[in-house]
Structure 1
Amino acid sequence: MSQSNIFIFLILIPLTFPQSAKGKDCVCDLKNSDPVFPMNKLKKVETNALQCTGTITSEKMTELDRLVLGLQQRIKQLEDNVVMLEKEDNRNIYGAVSLRIIELEIAEIQDLVDKLNRTTKNYQHLSLQTAAQLEDMKDTMVELEKFDNMLVIKKDRDNQRIKRELEQCKEEIKATAPPPTVPPARCGLGRLVSVAGPRTYSLTVYSTSYPYGAWGRDAKPAPGDENKYWLVVLSSSNVYGHFVRQYGTLSTLLLGIGPTDTYISSSNPTTNTIQGSNMVMYGNMLYYNCYYAYSVCQFNMATRAVSTVALPKDAGYNNKFPFAHLGTTYSYTDMDFATDEFGVYVIYATTSNFGNVIISKVETSNPPALNQTWSTSLHKRTVTNTFMVCGVLYATRYVDKDTEEIFYSYDTKTNEERYDLKMNIKKMQTNIEFLNYDPRDHLLYVYSDAYILTYELIFQ
């Protein structure tokens, strides 16, 4: 064995060289001076990590979000109702009714506060327990890292940091232009930048019986009807509806108190029946897809008279061009109706435009008429919903069961199309069957798997 080889072995591994009695043979004893790796500590860290993952779930956090949102909405509505009660004559019977509604709301608020307190205490205990476990795991991992003689963990950390910085650099380079800017002269809101909420989240009086439906406020109410809310459920096969239910305030809708039903027809389905879940209320008129026809129906809530206007003969109807995504289609949503600061629109598709979205302005005369029309390159079956704001059409698509994304816009003033919008809507249920913008309060009204919700649009 050469002298240089002996020198190398002495550097890497401590060796001893006992000589044989005759001095002819060289025997090497290999001794590892490093301590034994504590495998039991690593297994303990893995077990604690799995327990933490199983204890803290998105469902539990969502429960807390729902309670807080519900409490905020109830308090706001209570304030509105108290102001209304102060204006009423105490000798009027309606004052007693309003007082009873306020009592019910206070009881509901107290119930929500109690639930929130219980949930918060549970989360505080869970947070303390989890923090202690995390601190223990951190100390153990620091101890185990001492066995990393080759600095693999440190190098991996450095690599991950460099990757993150590189990705951030790429995003900054590829940063897209902002969504279309709406000139202030048109409605003064600026550009849409995000969606906040939900602000309202509740089941209707029907509970989960009717997953398809629509609700909202009249975008152009008659004097005295400014606080009214309307609700339509598709009570026949999730396709047809034949009456409109109205409530005096949001709180009475949420509590199911004192509704007024106005019937379009005596049963489903028949002439003038509502087909599909897309409809809007404007000027005390309900606009919707007429039963089994490529026509817009205008239902007068006061006289119960129905007037119609036909779309082009090649327009999709009766489930030909519904909203859809890869997982499902939203049945009989060939026509979508929208309101904004400028009036009423119908959104549909035609075979001559290859199934792409068409926007037509609806003149709210009696009978109604179609006015200016715009053709887009957006295929209707790639969309889950549309709405209008200040003459700009926005389209949404399904991302997953928790997220809907506003990804597209079409400006009817400039004819500019955008496919690169990235504004997420946080869903509370899997599907959104109805979505519309109210120009009076700048909220999106949503009907989602039997739940009614509102979201706030944020403008820059």
Structure 2
Amino acid sequence: MITTLLSFFFLSSTIALEPVDLWTERNGTVGPGDQCTCEAFLPGSTFPMGELVQLEQTAVQISHKLELEIVKVEMFESKLTIYMEKVVNLTVLIKIMEDDPDSYSELYIQEVKIQIKQVEALILELQASIQTSYTVLITIHKEITSIIVVLTRLETKYDKNLVLVTRREYIKLQQKLEECERRHNEIFNPNIGSCNHGGISRLSKPIISQLNANLNAGYMYGGWGKDSKPLPGSENMYWYSASTDTSVRYVSVYTDYYSLIMRQAKKTYDLYATNRDWRGTGNNYVIRNNTLYYQFANPFSMAKYNMTSQTAEYRVVPKASKRFSYHYSANQNLDFAADENGLWVTYATEESKGKLVLGKIDEVAFALKEVWQTSVFKPSVGNTFMVCGVLYATRSVDIHTDEIFYMYNTRTRKENYVSIPFKKFQENYVYLDYNPTDQKLYMFNRGYYVSYHVWFNQNNQTNKPQLLI
């Protein structure tokens, strides 16, 4: 009986640089009892299957954690409904007692006080549980983020088809985590779209989705996000645009988050054709009502591209200068933003000596209807965004940290210097915009999709019964 032995010799990286035959043969006859030996020479960069198996095992563990947290969130929602009913009932009861205090004995009043203390204890218990659960969600998000980075590295270095199945599993986990976080955040802040708050208090840690759809870190200039005023049926749509320079030509839209991560574009729009040139420049565009608002390349102006009709138009911004850009990138002369109050554009003029000017855009007339002058010098700013009619500006603290350092309130015409630090995934970013539909900041950071949850001060709430959670 002939036994065939397969011996694998892994060559060092220096040897692998030389051309080698993967199989070597030995001539001669093989008699009974002899061994037939084949030597296989494989390069040192073989696919790390063990690493992929470990990632799949981790996916199972994370899935179990998420299932537990989803059950907890469902429990929080049911408890919250019960507690709110108790609060409403007590509120009604206390109002009746206030109207006719002499009709109630001291013993009855003491019983009501005990009920109030019981509800207070229940609320404090729920608050502690929710905060603990959110800490777990943050940990899960970190784990998924780290693994997505590893998968992206494997996908760019090896055959991406080998990684595809595992990536799909993690995308499902990401979607499940997004849904769990959304429901969790609704408990904390059920008023998305409302401006009944005291401004930004803090940002979450950066949430890294993955490398861009071009699967190329060289696409450092670009942006991504969601439509700030989506058409009916497009509430889950995402968009992405990027380039190796500051030009703006292609915009891709994706049905939902899964399609974005799987790089399965629903449609890609091209702003350039043989019969027209609608290309732009800079990296501060937004999509609102299925329309791309961006900086037109020639002539220098603001433009909008209607993705429904696939037509474009532009308007010159009075006095806007091409000489002043943000700190991190050139050609960011017109910066578009959308918030709960509408559509905005920031720029600088020679007259303002490079200080930021903020304009409110009439979306129907596509023209500036009001302008505000600020005192902050645009080239010192990393980027800006709008929330509830308030302009926020960022700047660099160090290679790991930026901060929101300035805010201008268009309603009061007052400006303030603040310090709200936040971590960066990598040092430089060219895109930062807020979306009012989910109260997130979307950042394009050296080719990666990055986002942040935004938390608000609640000191402007109206005086109505509320749960302090």
Equivalent pair of 1:192/1:458 in contact (CA under 8 Å): yes
Whole-angstrom CA distance in 2 between matches of 1:410 and 1:395: 9
Counterpart for residue 377 of structure 1: 375
Distance 1:108-1:381 versus aligned 2 partners, 3 A rule: closer
1:321 aligns with 2:338: no
Q: Does 1:219 align with 2:224?
A: no
2:450 maps to 1:453: yes
Q: 1:309-329 CA distances to partner (integer Å, 9 max, x unpaired)?
A: 2111x3112xx10001xxxx4
Gaps of 5+ in 1: 1-64, 76-100, 112-183
CA distance in 1 between counterparts of 2:227 and 2:439 reads 13
Residue 432 (structure 1) aligns with = 429
Q: 1:325-369 deviations in whole A, cap 9, x for unaligned? A: xxxx4111111111110111000000111111000011111x511
- 1:400 positional shift: 1.5
Aligned AA (1:203): L
Counterpart of 1:203 (choices 211, 228, 231) is 211
Q: What is the correspondence of 1:274-353 to structure 2 with a 5 Å cutoff?
A: 274-312=280-318, 314-317=319-322, 320-324=323-327, 329-353=328-352
Asked whether the equivalents of residues 348 and 357 of structure 1 are also in contact (C-alpha less than 8 Å), the reply is yes
Per the TM alignment, residue 382 of structure 1 is displaced from its structure 2 partner at its CA by 0.9
2:197 equivalent among 179, 189, 193: 189
Cα gap change, 1:281/1:109 in structure 2, threshold over 3 Å: closer, same or farther?
A: closer
- Structure 1 residue 273 corresponds to structure 2 residue 282: no
Alpha carbons of structure 1 residues 107 and 443: separation in structure 2 relative to 1, 3 Å: closer
Going from structure 1 to structure 2, the CA distance change for 1:349 and 1:74 (only over 3 Å counts) comes to same
Match of 2:402 in 1: 404
Matched with 1:83 is: none
Name the structure 2 match of 1:106: 169
CA deviation after TM superposition for structure 1 residue 413, in Å:
0.6
What pairs up with 1:109-188 in 2 under 5 angstroms? 187-188=195-196
SS in 2 for 1:307: strand
CA distance in 2, matches of 1:109, 1:248: 15
Partner Cα distance (2:173, 2:233) in 1? 32
Unaligned 5+ segments in structure 2 are 1-137, 149-163, 175-191, 458-469
Q: Which amino acid aligns with 2:347?
A: Y
Distance in 2 (alpha carbons) for counterparts of 1:185 and 1:217: 15
**Counterpart code for 1:105:** R
Which residue is 2:144 aligned to? 71
Aligned-partner Cα distance in 2 for 1:378–1:199: 29
Paired amino acid for 2:438: D
One-letter code aligned to 1:323:
Y
Deviations 1:125-177 (A, max 9, x none): xxxxxxxxxxxxxxxxxxxxxxxxxxxxxxxxxxxxxxxxxxxxxxxxxxxxx
TM-score by length of 2: 0.57
Cα deviation for residue 379 of structure 1 reads: 0.9
Give the AA of the match of 1:71: I
In 2, Cα distance between equivalents of 1:199 and 1:243: 25
Shift of 1:257: 2.1
- Alignment match, 2:133: none
CA gap 1:372/1:74 in 2 versus in 1, 3 angstroms: farther
8 Å CA contact 2:145–2:209 kept in 1: the answer is: no
Distance 1:414 1:108, change over 3 A: closer
1:377-396 mapped onto 2 (5 Å cutoff): 377-396=375-394
Offset, 1:242: 1.1
Q: Counterpart of 1:115?
A: none
Q: Is the 8 A contact 1:271 1:291 kept in 2?
A: no
> Taking structure 1 as the reference length, what is the TM-score of the superposition?
0.58
Q: Using a 3 Å threshold, how does the CA distance of structure 1 residues 197 and 298 change in structure 2: closer, same or farther?
A: same
SS in structure 1 at match of 2:205: strand
CA distance in 2, matches of 1:229, 1:259: 10
Question: Which whole-Å CA distance do the structure 2 matches of 1:246 and 1:70 have between them?
Answer: 28
Q: Does 1:234 align with 2:243?
A: yes
1:242/1:265 contact within 8 Å kept? yes
- Shift of the alpha carbon at 1:252? 1.5
Q: CA deviation at 1:225?
A: 0.6
> Which of 238, 248, 267 is the matching residue for 2:255?
248
Cα deviation for residue 280 of structure 1 reads 0.3
Whole-angstrom distance in 2 between the partners of 1:248 and 1:102: 20
Structure 1 CA distance, aligned partners of 2:255 and 2:193? 34
Structure-2 separation of matches of 1:379 and 1:245: 33
C-alpha distance in structure 2 between counterparts of 1:102 and 1:402, whole Å:
33
Of the two, which has the highest radius of gyration? 1
SS at match of 2:272: coil
User: Alpha carbons of 1:416 and 1:273: their partners in 2 closer, same or farther (altered >3 Å)?
Assistant: same
Maintained 8 Å contact 2:171/2:258: no
Write the letter of the residue equivalent to 1:321: F
Give the structure 1 partner of residue 99 of structure 2.
Answer: none
Question: Using the alignment, how far apart are the partners of 2:288 and 2:172 within structure 1?
Answer: 33
SS of the aligned residue for 1:422 comes to strand
